[in-house]
Amino acid sequence: MSAGSRQQGFTLAGALILIAVTGAGMAAYGEMASHAAQREKEQELLFVGNQFRQAIGAFYEGTPGAAKQFPKKLEDLLQDQRYPVVRRHLRRIYADPMTGKPAWGLIQAPEGGIIGVYSLSAAQPVKTGGFAARDGLSEGAQRYSDWRFIYSPSIKRQ
């Protein structure tokens, strides 16, 4: 073999190694970007879930008269027509950040009405602990649908 053909083989091997290292780096970056996007959606789910919890609480606490009641449907939070002037406890029905759809799982109160919501996503969360006490979420949830945003009249959250 001449010196020129050995050099071409070395250049080819070097190029293949460079391509392999670049591919591994891009795969690692893609994984990191995917986790960052999922964590961002989780933060949005926590925000939206707490908005629903607060709106349900405002609806319940704002019930005229002595007999408190929960909303019968989520749309009641948009226009509470129990008063002469319509009250709005929520600006809009937020889409579930995990599914991208406006559908939510509804948690019914024993006496009727909605006391909470949860995501319909069966995906596994990245965040499984370290929730703020105000979130009232259980540690070690296996799915996003395990994250329950429930208003409890006996517990005042901030």
Distance CA 50, CA 52 (A): 5
Highest-confidence range of 14-18, 123-127, 133-137, 148-152, by mean pLDDT? 148-152
Largest CA-CA distance found in the chain, in angstroms, rounded = 98
pTM equals 0.75
Predicted local distance difference test score (pLDDT) of residue 17 = 87
> CB within 8 A of 38, min separation 6: which ones?
126
Predicted local distance difference test score (pLDDT) of residue 22 = 84
Q: What residues does 107 pair with on adjacent strands?
A: 116
Segment among 15-19, 30-34, 106-110, 120-124 with least mean pLDDT = 30-34
pLDDT tens per residue, range 61-101: 988 888 899 999 999 999 888 888 888 999 999 999 999 99
Residue 125 has pLDDT above 60, yes or no: yes
Q: What is the mean pLDDT of the chain?
A: 85
Backbone angles phi, psi at 12, to 5 degrees: -65, -45
46 falls in which pLDDT band (50, 70, 90)?
A: very high
Distance CA 14, CA 8 (A): 10
